[in-house]
């Protein structure tokens, strides 16, 4: 009897999410914030690192002006973004 009730509740919850996709999107966002495996794969933040005319480093979310060399930095939400300690870095 309990299994039957659980199946009905799950079916109704699935039907509700199917008929209301905005709640499904919101639920997925909450799950990704909690570190759940339901989160969409590949959440990456891309930044651009470059030097301006005065030689100051700039890190922005937009590419620099044309004809300026830059480096892209990709930070993955589910990865450790801290640099390796010097003793672990390859030379």
Q: Angle at Cα 45 formed by Cα 41 and Cα 47, nearest 5°?
A: 155
In a domain, 90, yes or no: no
In a domain, 84, yes or no: no
Residue 67: name the closest of 44, 47, 50, 83 by CA.
Answer: 50
Residue 29: which domain range?
A: 2-33
In a domain, 81, yes or no: no
8/27 same-domain check: yes
- What share of residues in the chain are helix, strand, coil (percent, to 5)? 35, 20, 45
Instruction: Assign 56 a pLDDT band (cuts: 50, 70, 90).
Output: very high
In a domain, 52, yes or no: yes
Q: What is the DSSP letter of 78?
A: T
The number of distinct structural domains making up the chain is 2
Whether the predicted pLDDT of 14 surpasses 90? no
pLDDT tens digit sequence for 22-45: 887 777 777 765 543 444 555 778
Helices assigned H by DSSP within the chain: 2-19, 21-33
Question: Does the model's pTM come out above 0.75?
Answer: no
In a domain, 83, yes or no: no
């Amino acid at each position: 009897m309990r299994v039957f009730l659980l199946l009905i509740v799950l079916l109704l919850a699935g039907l509700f999410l199917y008929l209301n996709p905005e709640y499904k999107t919101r639920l997925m966002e909450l799950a990704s914030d909690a570190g759940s495996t339901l989160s969409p794969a590949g959440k990456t933040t891309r930044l651009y690192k470059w030097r301006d005319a005065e030689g100051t480093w700039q890190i922005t979310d937009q590419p620099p002006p044309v004809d300026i060399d830059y480096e892209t930095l990709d930070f993955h939400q589910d990865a450790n973004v801290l640099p390796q300690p010097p003793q672990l870095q390859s030379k």
